[in-house]
Amino acid sequence: MKKPAGKYAYSVTVGEKGQIVIPKQLRDIFGIEAGDTLILLADDKRGIAIPPKSTFADFRKAIFGEEEKNDAD
């Protein structure tokens, strides 16, 4: 069976402290580095999603309803 382009499936194990390890291949593909902050979105019917880091600014704008301010302001 051929895997669809751009689609990935991995299994992870939850540790005693509730931590998971994101597989290296996925960290490389999505540019996730040690110390990065990620957002987990959860829905009790649809599951958990980790959106790309590039969408953080969009979430901030949606939550706080403001445009990014320049440091000069």
Q: What does residue 70 show for φ and ψ, rounded to 5 degrees?
A: -75, 155
- Torsion over CA: 73, 35, 53, 19 (sign): negative
Asked whether residue 8 carries a pLDDT value surpassing 90, the answer given is no
Q: Where do the domains of the chain lie?
A: 24-64
pLDDT digits 0-9 by tens, 27-62? 999 899 999 888 888 999 999 988 887 787 787 788
- Is the pTM for the entire model greater than 0.75? no
